[in-house]
C-alpha cells in the first residue's frame, strides 16, 4: 500500500512549508479509499502519522508545515500523538551524534523536539527520502569554524573522530584530476544529497532497500566536479532514473524553468532492492522533458509510472555522465578540453557590484563605497578580501595598492572591459 504500509518510514530532510508531505498524504489516502473503501482511511491516517517525518531549520516554514500537516490529518477525526507531528525543528546537516545541552525551562519543548529529531537521524530506519532540498552556494569556511553550521555542518566537516561523509563525493573527483572544480560542490543541495545517501543506503539502520528522490539543480548529470557524486551513487544504488527538466535561464538558448529560477533542474530517483555490491555500477536511465513550463508540468502531472517516459540508457562508467552518449560523426571529434587541457574559472570577485555593463555605473558605486560610513559592509568583505588589506594591482604585479580603508574620495584605480559572458561585454573595477 505504498506510503501507508507499515515500516515505510518517509523523510523530507528540507521540508519547508510541508508541500511534499501534504502531497504524500493526499496521494496515499486517495489510494486507500479507492482500493479499500472509505472505512479504511482512518487506518491509513494512523499509519502516515507513524511513517512521515520532516526536518526544517527555519522557524517560519516549520510553523507553517506543522499547521498544514496537522490540519491535513486531524480533519479525518484522528488524534495526533502527545509528542506532536513528525516534523521537527532541526538542522539536518548537524552531527547525529551531538548531545544537546540542557536548555532553560521555557525552551524545554524545543529541546525535546530536537532530541526526537536526533533519534530519527541516529536510530530510525528511513526507507524513502525525498523532497526539494535548499539550494545555496556560500562563503568559505571561517578559520575559527564559526560558520560551520551554515556551510555544510557535519556532512562537510565531520566529527573529531570521523572524517566527513562529503569526502566520498570529493575524493573520486580529486583523484580524477577535477580538484580545481570542487568548489561547485560546496552547495546546500549537494550536502543534502550526500546526507540522504548516507541515511538511506549507508547508515547503520540501512539494512537493504531504499529510495532517494530529489528535484535539484542538474549539474550532477555531467559536471566534472560531480564525477565523484555520480561514482558514489552508482556504488550504493542498483538503479538511477534521471528526469531532466532543463530550465537554463542564462546565455543565448534560454529554456523555461519549472521554478522561478535560472538554474536548470532535474529529478532523480535512486533506489536499490537489497544490500548493494559496490563493485557493480547502478543502471542509469535518462529522459528529458522539453517545451514551455506549462508543457513540462503537464507531462509530469500525467505520469503514473516509469512506462510514461521514453528512457535512454546512460554509459556505465563509474564517473560517466548520467545522460546517454552522443552518436554520429560529431561524437567522434576530440573534446575541446583535450585540445586545450588548461581550464580555469576566470576572474572571481566573490561579490557582484564590481561588474557592470557601463563604466558610469561603476564610478557611482565606487563613490558610494568611499562615502559610506561602513565601507566593510558595502564592500561585502570575505575572509581574504577586507577593506584593511593592501593588494597587488592585478594588471601590474609590481604595484601595491593602498587599502580601501585608507582612501579619501578618489576616482577608481582602473576600469577596464571584461568578457562577462559569451558575446557579452561588461566593465570591471580592476582594483
Structural domains in the chain, sorted by start: 2-313 (3.40.50.150), 355-429 (no CATH)
CA 292 – CA 225 distance, rounded (Å): 29
Query: What sign does the dihedral 230-231-232-234 (CA atoms) show?
Result: positive
User: 10-residue block means of pLDDT along the chain (431 residues)?
Assistant: 93 96 95 94 94 94 94 91 87 86 62 81 92 87 78 91 92 92 93 97 92 97 96 97 94 88 96 91 97 96 94 96 91 86 76 94 97 94 88 91 95 93 89 82
Q: What angle do CA 140, 146, 148 make, to 5 degrees?
A: 60
For position 327, what pLDDT does the model report?
86
- Residue 195 has a pLDDT of 97
Stated as kind and residue range, the H or E segment containing 33 is: helix 19-36
Position 200 scores a pLDDT of: 96
**317 three-class SS:** coil
Q: Which helix (H) or strand (E) holds 190?
A: helix 188-197
For 410, counting Cβ atoms within 10 Å of its Cβ (0-12 exposed, 13-18 middle, 19+ buried), the class is exposed
Measuring CA to CA, which residue among 83, 185, 77 is closest to residue 137? 185
**Phi (first) and psi of residue 209, to 5 degrees:** -65, 155
Orientation angle between helical segments 227-236 and 188-197, nearest 10 degrees:
20
- Per-residue model confidence (pLDDT) at position 349: 81
Contact 11, 199 (CB under 8 A): yes
What confidence score (pLDDT) does residue 171 get? 96
Check residue 291 and give left, alpha or beta (phi > 0: left; psi -120 to 50: alpha): left
Taking CA atoms, 222 is separated from 99, 179, 183, 225, in Å, by 39, 16, 16, 9
The predicted structure's pLDDT at residue 350: 83
Amino acid at each position: 500500500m505504498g506510503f501507508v504500509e507499515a515500516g515505510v518510514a518517509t523523510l523530507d530532510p528540507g521540508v519547508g512549508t510541508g508541500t511534499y508531505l501534504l502531497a504524500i498524504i493526499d496521494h496515499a489516502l486517495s489510494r486507500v479509499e479507492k482500493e479499500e473503501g472509505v472505512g479504511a482511511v482512518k487506518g491509513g491516517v494512523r499509519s502516515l502519522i507513524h511513517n512521515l517525518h520532516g526536518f526544517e531549520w527555519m522557524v517560519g516554514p516549520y510553523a507553517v508545515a506543522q499547521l498544514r500537516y496537522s490540519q491535513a490529518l486531524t480533519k479525518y477525526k484522528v488524534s495526533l500523538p502527545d509528542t506532536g507531528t513528525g516534523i521537527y525543528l532541526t538542522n539536518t546537516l548537524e552531527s547525529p551524534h551531538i548531545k544537546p545541552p540542557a536548555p532553560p525551562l521555557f525552551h524545554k519543548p524545543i529541546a525535546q523536539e530536537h532530541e526526537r529529531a536526533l533519534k530519527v537521524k541516529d536510530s530510525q530506519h528511513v526507507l524513502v527520502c525525498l523532497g526539494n532540498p535548499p539550494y545555496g552556494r556560500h562563503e568559505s569556511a571561517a578559520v575559527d569554524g564559526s560558520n560551520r553550521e551554515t556551510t555544510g555542518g557535519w556532512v562537510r566537516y565531520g566529527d573529531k573522530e570521523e572524517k566527513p561523509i562529503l569526502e566520498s563525493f570529493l575524493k573520486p573527483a580529486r583523484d580524477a584530476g577535477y580538484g580545481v572544480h570542487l568548489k561547485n560542490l560546496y552547495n546546500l543541495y549537494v550536502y543534502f544529497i550526500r546526507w540522504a545517501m548516507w541515511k538511506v543506503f549507508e547508515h547503520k539502520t540501512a539494512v537493504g532497500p531504499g529510495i532517494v528522490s530529489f528535484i535539484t539543480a542538474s549539474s550532477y548529470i555531467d559536471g566534472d566536479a560531480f564525477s565523484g557524486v555520480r561514482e558514489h551513487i552508482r556504488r550504493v544504488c542498483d538503479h538511477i532514473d534521471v528526469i531532466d527538466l532543463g530550465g537554463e535561464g542564462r546565455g543565448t538558448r534560454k529554456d523555461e524553468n519549472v521554478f522561478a529560477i535560472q538554474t536548470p533542474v532535474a529529478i532523480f530517483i535512486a533506489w536499490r532492492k537489497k544490500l548493494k555490491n559496490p563493485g557493480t555500477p547502478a543502471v542509469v536511465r535518462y529522459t528529458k522533458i522539453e517545451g514551455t513550463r506549462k508543457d513540462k508540468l503537464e507531462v509530469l502531472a500525467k505520469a503514473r509510472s516509469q512506462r510514461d517516459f521514453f528512457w535512454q540508457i546512460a554509459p556505465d562508467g563509474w564517473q560517466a555522465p548520467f545522460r546517454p552518449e552522443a552518436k554520429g560523426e560529431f561524437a567522434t571529434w576530440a573534446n575541446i578540453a583535450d585540445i586545450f587541457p588548461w581550464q580555469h574559472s576566470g576572474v572571481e570577485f566573490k561579490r557582484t557590484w564590481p561588474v557592470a555593463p557601463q563604466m558610469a555605473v561603476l564610478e557611482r558605486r565606487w563613490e558610494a563605497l568611499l562615502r559610506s560610513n561602513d565601507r566593510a559592509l558595502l564592500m561585502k568583505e570575505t575572509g581574504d578580501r577586507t577593506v584593511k588589506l593592501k593588494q597587488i594591482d592585478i594588471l601590474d604585479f609590481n604595484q601595491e595598492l593602498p587599502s580601501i580603508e585608507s582612501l579619501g574620495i578618489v576616482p577608481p584605480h582602473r576600469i577596464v572591459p571584461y568578457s562577462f559572458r559569451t558575446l557579452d561585454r561588461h566593465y570591471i573595477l580592476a582594483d
